[in-house]
Amino acid sequence: MQRIINEPGFVVEDMLKGFAKCHKNMIHVDPQNPRVVVSNFCKNKKKVGVVTGGGSGHKPAFIGYCGKNMVDAVAVGEIFSSPTAKSFYDAICAADQGQGVACLYGNYAGDNMNVKMAMELAEDAGIAVKTVVANDDVASAPKSESEKRRGVAGEIFMWKVGGAKANQGASLDEVIRAAQKAIDNTRSIGVGLGPCTIPANKRPNFSITPGTMEFGIGHHGEPGIRVEKLASAKEIAKAMTKLVIEDVPFVKGAELAVLVSGLGATPVMEQYIFFNEVEELLREQGLSLYASYVGNYFTSLEMNGITLTVMKLDDELKECLDEEVETMGMTQLRRS
Amino acid sequence: MQRIINEPGFVVEDMLKGFAKCHKNMIHVDPQNPRVVVSNFCKNKKKVGVVTGGGSGHKPAFIGYCGKNMVDAVAVGEIFSSPTAKSFYDAICAADQGQGVACLYGNYAGDNMNVKMAMELAEDAGIAVKTVVANDDVASAPKSESEKRRGVAGEIFMWKVGGAKANQGASLDEVIRAAQKAIDNTRSIGVGLGPCTIPANKRPNFSITPGTMEFGIGHHGEPGIRVEKLASAKEIAKAMTKLVIEDVPFVKGAELAVLVSGLGATPVMEQYIFFNEVEELLREQGLSLYASYVGNYFTSLEMNGITLTVMKLDDELKECLDEEVETMGMTQLRRS
């Protein structure tokens, strides 16, 4: 693998230094814990704190969603590894203003364990913490076992909604309810066309034979539902759209938000080609797109592939999506 | 090459359809010419029009900088090919409001020829057009022949400054003067670690042997200054920074804007690691960073590599960089 790095063991450390320098107007590193990134807007007004965390290598996720009106503090893990309980706890402390903290994160064993321990520490410190655990990846377990599903790019909608709600002055319970609704209304699915390699490793974690694709791949290369022949954008879009639409399920006339993300090495051009097909399929089914996002929103190092995320909207969720936001991963002026 | 496309001959067409649907609040396709993208904000106020154009495959460039306070209309070419004279002319017509049009584009033979013909058509139609031709790539010719240098990611600064100036109500001559100053104060350099393939071709345009890098590579794989052993981020940053800093030249105490862009397949993590080294080198030389941009701002399909762009600032350029902007490639709230 051809990379622009220094020591492979220090990629997260070096990246964080660069990130903090580049976005110093927006975020800073916690002076007490170099693996916690905190929004500079965090304490501009009294509000519920919004926290997340996860392994590195998914940029913009997770630190790229820290900033104005989205996530207040992020616990940072090593590449594809959970942050420590201490980092989750320090992120909670950084975001707390006495109104409680919403910890909105993805369903992975390490994160679950470390958030649980962090919550015990927070309880001892008298900080009220409630959680929403994202499980939007339809490929990772059947619907009847949706509590086993992983969180993937749908987390971005969960953070957007939770962050907007907190900024509007909602209580902890209201923030949690809205963020839970966001993820309950959200489904994602990914396909992998090429693997990625953790910088400290010599070889990719997994392999994808040229001419094939892994349908339903996870954000760390977790096996998908099936390996099949690489198809056209139209056919891939059809299979992916069907899966997420039927799982919600959507009914004719529904409004939705769509997020298409490249996994790292997929040109943005291809993402728009794919989105064009998705939009057509949704329109044919009488569904309308209220908001669309296409780009590298949640990646897996240099994995080649794409994810599709859809969220069913209501007035509250639309209001939250429209909120002004300023982060590295998503900046948007208030939509009128 | 593993790709998510339909017919290779239709990638630009399919991409434009997806792009127009996704960003319908911001841009639309010219009803007269499907290869012209026009900002919806274009005629919100009487002002000088700002136009650009170029080959596809560089997303966000060029259409990704069309929107509020930046570029008003873009002529779209095939992959790595100039738009036609007719498309440049139609973009000029779309952006014109009787105050003249600034055509700000990059120094490539095809673009030069087609812009020249478009200007003749515009002259016949009574539209005043003036140009700035970006030539920020220091690797493409020696300083003594800087008129031969290619335009690369520095074009983004040229558009940002030109667009801001036009939005402030400046005359055509003032927009041209400011955009020319922006590019005169800007230098770029790239390194390539892996090639890219035009979708309609079977093979990459060029090759890069693993373990080596092409120092000074162009945005279409044009040969660089030298091929050398792939080095650490620190060493690559050192060589690249030296070249651009000495070419301006910068003097101690200067303020600058820095833009680091991945070329497509380089993880954003690596871009921040690289930026961290660049920032340190600049600081050691007594230069300070007023604004920093890191991300996939100007790519070459799935090329693996990175570009460094620096612009020397004065009060006028800072004021232009601070302007609110809303495009697919760059959205930023007004900086106070």
**Measuring CA to CA, which residue among A263, A261, A262, A260 is closest to residue A301?**
A263
Å between B109 CA and nearest CA of chain A: 24
Which of A185, A206, A240 marks a domain boundary? A185
Å between B292 CA and nearest CA of chain A: 5
Does this model's pTM top 0.90? My answer is: yes
Q: Are residues B105 and B241 in the same domain?
A: no
**Measuring CA to CA, which residue among B323, B320, B297 is closest to residue B308?**
B297
Q: Which of B4, B23, B306 sits opposite A4 (nearest CB)?
A: B306
CB contacts < 8 Å between A and B, how many?
Answer: 187
**Measuring CA to CA, which residue among A328, A305, A266 is closest to residue A40?**
A328
Asked, for residue B333, whether it belongs to a domain, the answer is no
Window 81-120 of A: residues touching B by CB (8 A cutoff) are none
Asked, for residue B293, whether it belongs to a domain, the answer is yes
CATH number, domain containing residue A166: 3.40.50.10440
The H-assigned helical ranges of A168-305 are 172-184, 233-247, 268-284
**Measuring CA to CA, which residue among A10, A74, A80 is closest to residue A36?**
A74
DSSP B205: S
CA–CA distance, A232 with A238 (Å, rounded to integer)? 10
**CB–CB contact B270 A3 (8 Å):** yes
Window 130-159 of A: residues touching B by CB (8 A cutoff) are none
Q: Residue B202 pLDDT > 90, yes or no? A: no
B220 annotated active-site: yes
B335 contact A CB<8A? yes
Q: Provide the pLDDT for residue A336.
A: 64
A226 contact B CB<8A? no
Q: Which two tokens stand for residue A263?
A: 């996994």
Q: Any bridge partners for residue A283, and if so which? A: none
CA–CA distance, B1 with B4 (Å, rounded to integer)? 10
Residues of B whose CB is below 8 A from A292: 21-23
CA–CA distance, A138 with A242 (Å, rounded to integer)? 11
Average pLDDT in the A298-304 region? 96
What value, to the nearest 5°, has the Cα angle with vertex A98 and ends A97 and A102? 75
Q: Is residue A137 exposed (0-12), middle (13-18) or buried (19+ Cβ within 10 Å)? A: buried
Q: Are residues A260 and A212 in the same domain?
A: yes
Q: What is the pLDDT of residues A58-86, one digit of tens each?
A: 999 999 999 999 999 999 999 999 999 99
| Best residue of A17, A69, A272, A292 to probe chain B, by most B CBs closer than 10 Å | A272
Asked, for residue B303, whether it belongs to a domain, the answer is yes
B200 contact A CB<8A? no
**CB–CB contact B5 A273 (8 Å):** yes
Q: Are residues A193 and A284 in the same domain?
A: yes
Q: Are residues B180 and B38 in the same domain?
A: yes
Under 8 Å between Cβ of B215 and B227 = yes
Which of A185, A204, A232 marks a domain boundary? A185
CA–CA distance, B55 with B327 (Å, rounded to integer)? 19
Q: What is the pLDDT of residues A229-238, one digit of tens each?
A: 999 999 999 9
Average pLDDT in the B315-326 region? 97
Å between A289 CA and nearest CA of chain B: 9
Average pLDDT in the B165-190 region? 98
Return the amino acid letter for A173: D
Q: Provide the pLDDT for residue B92.
A: 98
Å between B301 CA and nearest CA of chain A: 5
**CB–CB contact B301 A267 (8 Å):** yes
Q: Which residue do the tokens 């520490």 mark? A: A121
Under 8 Å between Cβ of B297 and B226 = no
Q: Are residues B172 and B246 in the same domain?
A: no
CA–CA distance, A309 with B301 (Å, rounded to integer)? 24
Strand, helix or coil for residue A234? helix
**CB–CB contact B56 A269 (8 Å):** yes
Q: Are residues A98 and A221 in the same domain?
A: no
Residue of A nearest to B234 (CA): A6
Residue of B nearest to A12 (CA): B269
Q: Is the ipTM of this complex over 0.90?
A: yes
**Secondary structure of A291-306 as H, E, C letters:** EEEEECCCCCCCEEEE
Residue of B nearest to A17 (CA): B276
Q: Which residue do the tokens 């304490």 mark? A: A43
Determine the structural domain holding residue A287 and report its residue range.
186-328
Instruction: Count how many domains chain A has.
Output: 2
Q: Are residues B179 and B190 in the same domain?
A: no
Q: What is the pLDDT of residues B125-162, one digit of tens each?
A: 999 999 999 999 999 999 999 999 999 999 999 999 99
Q: Residue B336 pLDDT > 70, yes or no? A: no
Q: Which of A15, A264, A304 sits opposite B272 (nearest CB)?
A: A15
Å between B18 CA and nearest CA of chain A: 4
Q: Are residues B28 and B170 in the same domain?
A: yes
Q: Are residues A208 and A220 in the same domain?
A: yes
Asked, for residue B131, whether it belongs to a domain, the answer is yes
Residue of A nearest to B301 (CA): A267
Under 8 Å between Cβ of A87 and A53 = yes
Q: Any bridge partners for residue A251, and if so which? A: none
Q: Any bridge partners for residue A311, and if so which? A: A186, A257
Q: What is the pLDDT of residues B103-117, one digit of tens each?
A: 999 999 999 999 999
Q: Which residue do the tokens 């010219």 mark? A: B30
pLDDT above 90: percentage of residues in chain B: 95
**Measuring CA to CA, which residue among A62, A20, A273, A24 is closest to residue A156?**
A62
CA distances to B45, B52, B102 from B71, in Å: 14, 7, 10
Q: How many CB atoms lie within 10 A of CB B276?
A: 26
SS3 content of chain A, % helix, strand, coil (to 5): 35, 25, 40
Residues of B whose CB is below 8 A from A332: 331
Strand, helix or coil for residue A119? helix
* Edge-to-edge strand ranges of the sheet holding A288-295: A226-229, A212-215, A186-194, A304-312, A255-262, A288-295
The confidence band for A272, taking pLDDT boundaries of 50, 70 and 90, is very high
Average pLDDT in the A187-213 region? 93
Q: What is the pLDDT of residues B60-93, one digit of tens each?
A: 999 999 999 999 999 999 999 999 999 999 999 9
Asked, for residue A279, whether it belongs to a domain, the answer is yes
CATH number, domain containing residue A218: 3.30.1180.20
Q: Provide the pLDDT for residue B206.
A: 87
Window 248-277 of B: residues touching A by CB (8 A cutoff) are 264-277
Q: Which residue do the tokens 């570009």 mark? A: B307
Window 38-77 of B: residues touching A by CB (8 A cutoff) are 56-57, 59-60
Q: Which helix (H) or strand (E) holds B15?
A: helix B11-22
Residue of A nearest to B258 (CA): A22
**Catalytic residue numbers of A?**
58, 220
Residues of A whose CB is below 8 A from B332: 331
DSSP A165: H
Under 8 Å between Cβ of A294 and A277 = no
CA distances to A211, B137, B187, B189, B309 from B247, in Å: 46, 11, 7, 11, 12
Asked, for residue A336, whether it belongs to a domain, the answer is no
**Measuring CA to CA, which residue among B105, B80, B139 is closest to residue B301?**
B80
Q: Are residues A178 and A228 in the same domain?
A: no
Q: Which of A6, A210, A274 sits opposite B2 (nearest CB)?
A: A210
Q: Which two tokens stand for residue B85?
A: 């004279």
| Best residue of A269, A270, A306, A326 to probe chain B, by most B CBs closer than 10 Å | A269
Q: What is the pLDDT of residues B207-239, one digit of tens each?
A: 999 999 999 999 999 999 999 999 999 999 999
**CB–CB contact B19 A264 (8 Å):** no
Q: What is the pLDDT of residues B6-63, one digit of tens each?
A: 999 999 999 999 999 999 999 999 999 999 999 999 998 999 999 999 999 999 999 9
Average pLDDT in the A154-170 region? 98
Q: How many CB atoms lie within 10 A of CB B246?
A: 12
Q: Are residues A173 and A256 in the same domain?
A: no
CA–CA distance, B233 with A296 (Å, rounded to integer)? 23
Which of A154, A185, A216 marks a domain boundary? A185
The confidence band for A315, taking pLDDT boundaries of 50, 70 and 90, is very high
Q: Provide the pLDDT for residue A205.
A: 82
Residues of A whose CB is below 8 A from B210: 2
Asked, for residue B29, whether it belongs to a domain, the answer is yes
Q: Which of B5, B59, B333 sits opposite A333 (nearest CB)?
A: B333
Residues of A whose CB is below 8 A from B54: none
Q: Residue B335 pLDDT > 90, yes or no? A: no
| Best residue of B269, B297, B335 to probe chain A, by most A CBs closer than 10 Å | B269
Q: Are residues A197 and A159 in the same domain?
A: no
Q: Which residue do the tokens 């974690």 mark? A: A205
A22 contact B CB<8A? yes
Asked, for residue A106, whether it belongs to a domain, the answer is yes
